[in-house]
Amino acid sequence: MRYTKAVLSRYVADLSKKMPAPGGGSVAALMLACAAGLVAMACAYTVGKERCKAFWPRARRLLKRSLAIKGEALRLLDADIAAYEGKDQVRSISVPARVCRLSAQTMRLAREVSRKGNRSLRSDADLAVSLARLSAAAARSYVRVNVLHLKNSARYAKLLNELKRLP
């Protein structure tokens, strides 16, 4: 099932059931997609706002990057579900690790647009920071838990240290 093509209520209904996926990893990816979407919206409203004219070129770049992150986050939502359904241990680590990294990027983008973008969208950009922070924390937790279930978990120490240093 590709939830990014389904009705949101179906995703939430399946999330509520006793089944391995969807679960928290896909929710972390969904929070990331929502955070990136809010950044994109704030950037879109900034471009064209006369008071923010000096920031327009940067806002356009932030808009492009946030849309790319949003698209990747939605793909990661489905990838997380597929990893759990297929019992793919490597992907059950690599997918949330990617969500964590993209969440850190999204926090930086959101903070910048909150400071320099359209003031009317500051609360949206601030919400994006909060959602991205939650997404990163959740994804980091899933990486840790999934690594603990591996026989060769020591080989993932570098990844765990990297993710620990992210905001």
pLDDT at 6: 65
Query: What pLDDT is stored for residue 160 in this prediction?
Result: 75
pLDDT in tens, the chain (167 residues): 666 666 788 888 899 999 888 999 999 999 999 999 999 999 999 999 999 999 999 999 999 999 999 999 999 999 999 999 999 988 999 999 999 999 999 999 999 999 999 999 999 999 999 999 999 999 999 998 888 877 776 677 777 777 878 77
pLDDT value, residue 53 = 95
The number of beta carbons lying within 10 Å of the beta carbon of residue 18 is: 4
Residue 147: its pLDDT value, please?
A: 86
Q: Which domains does the chain have, with CATH numbers?
A: 23-165 (1.20.120.680)
Q: Where are the alpha helices (DSSP H) in the chain?
A: 8-15, 24-46, 56-85, 91-116, 122-148, 157-165
Tokens at residue 29, please? Answer: 């990816």
110: alpha, beta or left? (left if phi > 0; alpha if psi -120 to 50): alpha
C-alpha distance from residue 112 to each of 30, 134, 137 (Å): 22, 18, 21
The reported pLDDT for the residue numbered 2 is 63
Phi, psi of 151 (to 5 degrees): -70, -35
